[in-house]
Amino acid sequence: MSTEPGRVPNVLSVAGSDPSGGAGIQADLKTFGALGAHGCAVLTALTAQSTQGVTGVHAVPPRFIREQVETLVADVTLAAVKVGMLGSADVVRAVHELAQEGLLPNLVLDPVMVSTAGSRLLDEDAVEELRALASHADLITPNLPEAAVLLGRDPQDMAEGPAQMMDEARALLDLGCPRVLLKGGHASGEHVLDLLVDTLGAHELGGPRVATPHTHGTGCSLSSAITALRPRRDSWLEAVTDARSWLVGALEHGHELSVGQGPGPVHHFWQLWER
């Protein structure tokens, strides 16, 4: 699914806003731009948020989320779509309907449930709706706690080790999603292992853990990087591999920024800004 050479792909983020600029729509748009895609955005929620946590959420009505998407796709041809924070069951249901109607091509679903600082970003009664939406995604990108919740367990009951991660990834395929990127960053140890699994097989993607406190928006940025790169890569594996490499650099250079008193953001423009 490579975009015509020389053409900049249009990609969309359907997600919530983060005023600190490190996560959510803001992180997605930065990532899209840093990786050579034109970013479009449909807001699902406004948050009162900083690097230290979320103090409030103002949801966008589902009917207006639909209006945003329908107005956009009537004019702009999208190459890929990332879906992040949805918040409520009604919003998840609305996005699911849009996916069923074919309005969200090459859909990357980041099942956002809890922020890096520990704030809940998805209502408990929305999990079942999120499982249904996963069946219409092309790729889901849960971390270990999110995978546990999607599989009906407590988020503290995370997989431990490659064998358990493989079992969980294959169980997630049973939700109907054709492929899963199970992210192992929440596991302990100096090495991070992610698994990209589909019905044809599995790929282990690993590397040394980047020792940094600047991890705000890591999940948002990885899923949006995959979205930005997929139209110009020949496979999901290639897009995921290149997105992970870019994120490692963004983590390694996060210390160059000075944003807030909590976990700072990754440096989305680490390849572009002069030092």
CB neighbour class for 265 (10 Å; exposed up to 12, middle 13-18, buried from 19): buried
CB neighbour class for 110 (10 Å; exposed up to 12, middle 13-18, buried from 19): buried
- Give the amino acid at 148: A
CB neighbour class for 175 (10 Å; exposed up to 12, middle 13-18, buried from 19): middle
Phi, psi torsion values for 83, nearest 5 degrees: -115, 125
CB 87 within 8 A of CB 126: yes
Question: What are the DSSP calls for 90-134, one per residue?
Answer: HHHHHHHHHHHTT-S-SEEE----B-TTS-B-B-GGGHHHHHHHH
Q: Which residue has the tokens 């948050």?
A: 47
Q: What are the residue numbers of the active site?
A: 183, 215, 217-220
Measured distance CA(229)–CA(37) in Å, rounded: 8
Q: Which domains does the chain have, with CATH numbers?
A: 10-256 (3.40.1190.20)
Evaluate if pTM is beyond 0.85. yes
Beta strands at 38-50 and 53-59: parallel, antiparallel or unpaired: antiparallel
- What pLDDT score does 95 carry? 97
CB 14 within 8 A of CB 42: yes
- What pLDDT score does 191 carry? 84
- What pLDDT score does 62 carry? 96
- What pLDDT score does 10 carry? 98
- What pLDDT score does 241 carry? 97
- Give the amino acid at 199: T
- What pLDDT score does 122 carry? 75
Q: Which residue has the tokens 């899963």?
A: 180
Distances (CA, A) of 87 to 142, 160, 235, 258: 16, 28, 30, 29
If the chain, 275 residues long, is cut into consecutive pieces of 10 residues, what is the mean pLDDT of each piece? 75 96 96 97 95 90 97 97 93 96 96 66 82 94 91 82 89 90 80 91 91 92 98 96 96 93 93 81
Rounded (10°) angle between helices 236-252 and 218-229: 140
